[in-house]
Structure 1
């Protein structure tokens, strides 16, 4: 596992291709619908390396470079899958979320939890804003489930007042982008333990209640409003630019850091929106990121 100062990247010794993404981490979460088959391919520097995967009662042997399918259970929930390289025992854990199908939303509610109504996209927007296929169930017991080495499920639900269960969407590409930004910050010499996810997923109901635009990327689980709160840990952005103040200069520092990554080949899969936000009476400074697939900028 690669280490930068006290920060560990959480990278595995092999990679996995799934859902059009390359997953390099020792723990990661994927989601799908009941009974759906996830197509996976192990990427390893040793051609033809053998791996075992354990999923429920099943133990199968697979070969690096050859696709294989994993059929998800019929019952929504969280299911662990373990991949192990036969030669040396190096592992990767997948947390597989079997989602509640969106078809179970009735009158804007899913098992009592208020989702609201998704806006109907037309024309060119239709392909960019498809209706969600399903929602991940968040309970009091599964919030600590890791989405990746440094992020958990409990960091991403809509901020609306409600009990459990809650339901949400978290795009895997967003989680990969957050991990990459965290790693790049540490590689640059800026020791950062993690990001505070001030706002992740938003239900259409909550998004409308706060007066946001209907087609916000948050509503599709592909956006996060973030800040760094490591030293001191006080619920506010850290003094990133070292001027002794906590203000827009610190969110600008983070914005500029992210902006410098654009144009680099390794960052191409994570193109998206980047927004700068100042403090107000409700929150401190923060930065918006998303994975919309094309460049968008505001606030700077």
Structure 2
């Protein structure tokens, strides 16, 4: 249906007549009459009983009215969704349990007036492609090859997330507060489901090389719940997770999160955006993220320098 004809129909109902509807819509009374006539013709029904002073709805008109209002509301939302200053800022956070989502939530708590549309793409490469085609406005990811970014894609380092390990209650380290990553060489460091070619696969490859450790990525990968079950029952299996990764497990698992120290490996999160999409809302997110406090760590390992170069 023609939305302008539907808008004229609803306006006539709300204003009580064709003349008042014309004033509200800023068109002539004749234009309103033509739009209503066109709508009636397309639906093959009569919507109004025309009187000398007031137009009254027919039975078909009363049936159509709530649907017409719903249609107009949807049309208005569609228009606003793409208007500068009205459309929510679309940001990829890689995973809703990961630190990226937590960082963006911190921004939302401080700036509830900025509308956000949070998405989770498959990897950093997909995020860069989405930035290029304009389907997202920004992304939080580990940028391991900044020199390979397409023209127009900008980035800034925003946060170093400390890496931790997760062990079960029967593991020898279960009652420790921290451990060195070099001391984990005798344990099975299991991170199932690492996808080759992703930015986090590149991170774990750098980590393994830097500390001369072997990270087991073999499956089967039955998801986080299965991984937690295995960790809870094992004396030897260890897995990695970020300090701000949010995972809930059954109380019976009695899992422990341990800090890694001397040095502490960190996962370097970067904020990416396309310079064509830069605007007030995006700038506010970027400024907030770059001002975030980093964990007070005495010794840190990162696969990238602070200038973002690998």
Do Structure 1 and Structure 2 share a fold, with TM-score over 0.5?
no
Q: Relative to total residues, which structure has the larger strand share, 1 or 2? A: 1
Coarse TM-score class (shorter-chain normalised):
under 0.3
- Give the TM-score of the pair, scaled to structure 1: 0.19
Task: Report which of the two structures shows the higher radius of gyration computed on alpha carbons.
Answer: 2
